[in-house]
Amino acid sequence: MGYFYFDESIHSQAHFVLGAFAYSETGLESYVAETLQQTGLRPGIDEFKSSSRMDQNPLQVRARELLKCVVRDHCRIGIVVAPEVSRSILGNESLLGLNKILTTNSFRSGSHEVFFDEGIFTSSATGELAASQVCMGQNCTFHFEQNSITVMGLQVADLIAHTCATMMLAQLGLVKKKVKVGENSGYDPDSETEFGFELWARVRNNFFAAAPPPVDTWKSQLDFQVEVESRGLHIADSCDTKIRDAALTRFGSMYLGCIH
């Protein structure tokens, strides 16, 4: 059985909301629980939240770093982008994104559990009705209005949504922060890079995507790219051109070649 977890990151100043699916062939609860325990947080009581002030909470910072490893090792990623002014439609757009993922990708599991964080739909009944219309025929069991403290895989979706939304903000020119690359990066640890690039480098291998082109067709390493737009990216029709172009530029395809 496969597991989908969905959460969102809202950015009113940029007029978009970005939702993220974290998918794993096994439930993420045990991985998240272990992460929280390692950082001194209590599973089922405490939780990781990307909206926390990281500069004031070292436990959240440590949890974030360990959850990035959970994403790297266990998750595939799907992205949904919608205009913030139409946030009420995010639930329906998320189901359209899920249906795209399910119909264009291969899975070892034939059935899936799908969890949505609180507030994605106006009610569980609304979510059930929308799912019956949009994902008709998909072998999914849906769970709406879920609490991320108890459904801990949602904390991973929260991290992915925040990470990818920050990448969108960087693409739009609204985040210009630079960070040191640190140890084990392949670069001088004191050298600086764009924050958006650093985030992208960590997740670029995990998106739902088409297979890369055969190696013998490459003209250079730059051809080692996978197409994400048709497999793991859904952009609401109501998005304006600026948001649509930024989403396509940032997530439409992923370069997987060497960056060192």
Domain harbouring 120, CATH code: 3.30.420
Residue 132 has pLDDT above 60, yes or no: yes
Decide if pLDDT at 184 tops 90: no
Q: Which of 81-95, 107-121, 162-176 has the lowest mean pLDDT?
A: 81-95
> What is the pTM (predicted TM-score) of this model?
0.92
Classify residue 90: in a domain, yes or no. Answer: yes
Q: Which amino acid is residue 194, in one-letter code?
A: E
Domain ranges, residue 183: 2-255
Q: Does 85 or 236 have the greater pLDDT score?
A: 236
Q: What is the pLDDT of residues 96-129, one digit of tens each?
A: 999 999 999 999 999 999 999 999 999 999 999 9
17 phi/psi in degrees, rounded to 5:
-125, 135
Distance CA 100, CA 98 (A): 5
pLDDT category, 180, cuts 50, 70, 90? low
* DSSP secondary structure letter of residue 19: E
| Domain-located, residue 169 | yes
pLDDT at 84: 87
**pLDDT tens for residues 200-228?**
989 999 999 999 988 888 888 888 999 99
Is residue 141 domain-resident?
yes
Number of domains in the chain: 1
20 pLDDT band (50/70/90 cuts)?
A: very high
> So what's the pLDDT on residue 129?
96
Position 260 in a domain:
no
Instruction: Over range 135-141, report the average pLDDT.
Output: 96
Domain assignment present for 121 = yes
Q: What is the pLDDT of residue 223?
A: 86
**Three-state secondary-structure class, residue 64:** helix
Print burial letters for 104-115: b (CB count within 10 Å at least 16), e (below 16): eeeeeeeebbbb
